Amino acid sequence: MSKPILDVLERFVYDNDRQVSQCEIVMDFEQEPKRVAGSYTAQGYQVVVEPRPDDLPPFAKDFKVELVGKRAAEGVLVAVKKNRDALAADANLPRYAEITSAQPGWRFDFAILESEEPGARELRGAQELPDEDVIKALGDAEQLAPTGFLRPALTTAWAGFEAAMRRRLRASGETAGWGTSPRPMLNELYSSGILSGGEFRRLEQVHRLRNEIAHGFASPTLDAGVVQFLVETARRLLTESQPAKKTA
């Protein structure tokens, strides 16, 4: 698959960890569609496994997908792939995703079969930071950046941002906790309209910068503006995660 097609898929794909509100990631590919169907059924969807054309919505009659789910005025189409190579080999998926995302009430999900990351297992049972500590971390990052300590500033800001993403997703009724990696959260926030396309693409770049720093690589594109953008986005998500105040 060409690089542009992979770029399109990167806007939609869910991988690397468990995002239960989207799909249950397990290793048994033969049984995966039924297990994924179970997670959607638990969310109130009526699910058809290996749907025929008559089971699909009018805009998707020629789609080859593993699942279709319907819930009230909402619908979801799900492609289940063994790994990212299988995802890249299916040239139809970008078209499916683009068409589906343009339909009111419909979304297109991907399930890629990968084991849970060791890092996520190590975090099992970890406690969330109190809101005041998240806010302090963001403030610390904001103060560090102008002093030239950009790498620790970004690491600190990213920690606060991840906490803010989890809070914002939970406020929307999604599942987000110790086992949820950053990429699925970014995807969900984007597909839900909480992040704009521009914000999503820039946060993807910041995510790569954070990984470069965390693993001891150079990060030549890092500047104070990146840290400030991350801090401001995290603060917005925190604000939006708070219950709306009732007016008299």
Q: What is the pLDDT of residues 232-242, one digit of tens each?
A: 999 999 999 98
The whole-model pTM stands at 0.54
Domains of the chain: 3-112 (no CATH), 122-241 (1.20.120.330)
The DSSP call for residue 23 is B
Question: In this structure, are residues 170 and 179 in contact, taking their beta carbons and an 8 Å threshold?
Answer: no
If we measure between CA atoms, which residue out of 148, 160, 162, 163 comes closest to residue 222?
148
Tell me what the pLDDT averaged over the chain comes to.
80
If we measure between CA atoms, which residue out of 7, 187, 2 comes closest to residue 91?
2
Question: In this structure, are residues 138 and 235 in contact, taking their beta carbons and an 8 Å threshold?
Answer: yes
Per-residue buried b or exposed e for 8-39, using 16+ beta carbons within 10 Å of the residue's own CB: bbebbbbbbbbbbbbbbbbeeeeebbeebbeb
pLDDT tens-digit readout, 174-203: 776 655 678 888 888 988 889 998 999 999
pLDDT tens-digit readout, 108-162: 988 876 544 445 445 555 678 889 999 999 999 999 999 999 999 999 999 999 9
- For tokens 């890249």, the residue is 88
Tokens of 71: 């819930």
If we measure between CA atoms, which residue out of 17, 20, 22 comes closest to residue 115?
17
Task: Identify each DSSP E strand in 17-122 by its residue range.
Answer: 46-49, 67-71, 74-81, 106-112
Residues 6-16 have a mean pLDDT of: 42
